[in-house]
Amino acid sequence: MFTKLIAGMIAASLTVIGGSQVARAATVDATIVIESFDSDTDSPFRDTSNAVDGNVTTFLSLPTGSFITLGFSGVRVFDAVGQDDLFIGEVGNGGEDANVFVSSDNGSSFTFLARAFGNQITNLDLADIGFTAGVNAVKIVGLDRGGSAPGFDLSVVRGLENSVQPVPLPAGMPLLIGALAGLGWVARRRSSGHRRS
C-alpha cells in the first residue's frame, strides 16, 4: 500500500522533472500595430493593416530601414520545447530579407531572434536565442528594396498560442526528495518488522 503510493509519487515527480509539457498546436496572429516607421514614403503597399488582417496574401512592404512592431492580443508566445514558435510570412519572390526581434515588455526593449526570408513562411525557434520570457511584441525590420514593391513584403506574424514553458527542474525536486525519504521509511519499517516476526 505505502510502497504503491510512494512509487506513484516518484513517477509523478519524475514526470514533473522530465518537464517538457506539450504546447498546443493552435497558432495566433499578431493583430496590434504598436509602432511603425516608413523609410521611403514614395513606395507603394504601405498599409500597415495588411500585416495584421489575418490574410496571408495582403502585405506591408518594408524597404531598407522600415519597420513595424506588432503585438499579440492577450497572449504571449513562449518557447515551446522542440518546436518552432514564431512564423513570419512574406509574399512574392523578390529575394527580400528582414531582421526579426522579440520583446517581452510590449516593445520597450528587443532582442534579435533571426533573419526572415522572402516568398515563404519563415519558422523561428525562441530556443535558438534562449529567450524564456513570453513574447508579446515582434519587430520586423526591412533589409533591402527587393521586388516590385520595394522591401520585405510582410503578410503575417504568427505565434504558437499560449505555448507552455517547460517546468523548471526545482519544481519536481521536493516531491522526489519526499518520495525517496518515504521509501527509506518503508524499508526501515519492513526490516524491523522482519526482525520481530
Binding site for Ca ion (CB under 5 A): 79-80, 83, 85, 92, 94, 96, 118, 125, 127, 147, 149, 153
130's grid cell: 534562449
Distance CA 141, CA 70 (A): 12
Q: How far is the CB of 127 from Ca ion (least distance, A)?
A: 4
Tell me whether residue 13 or residue 104 sits nearer to Ca ion (CB atom). 104
What are the C-alpha distances in Å from 67 to residues 9, 18, 140, 173?
A: 51, 40, 5, 45
Distance CA 180, CA 2 (A): 12
Q: How far is the CB of 188 from Ca ion (least distance, A)?
A: 45
Q: How far is the CB of 76 from Ca ion (least distance, A)?
A: 13
Tell me whether residue 118 or residue 134 sits nearer to Ca ion (CB atom). 118
Tell me whether residue 92 or residue 182 sits nearer to Ca ion (CB atom). 92
- 94 phi and psi, to 5 degrees? -115, 10
Short-list 141, 128, 139, 80, CA closest to 104: 139
Short-list 54, 74, 51, CA closest to 136: 74
Q: How far is the CB of 150 from Ca ion (least distance, A)?
A: 6
Tell me whether residue 149 or residue 179 sits nearer to Ca ion (CB atom). 149
Q: How far is the CB of 162 from Ca ion (least distance, A)?
A: 14
Distance CA 149, CA 44 (A): 6
Q: Which residue is nearest to Ca ion (CB)?
A: 147
Q: How far is the CB of 44 from Ca ion (least distance, A)?
A: 10
Tell me whether residue 75 or residue 127 sits nearer to Ca ion (CB atom). 127
Tell me whether residue 124 or residue 179 sits nearer to Ca ion (CB atom). 124
Short-list 68, 69, 48, 72, CA closest to 58: 48
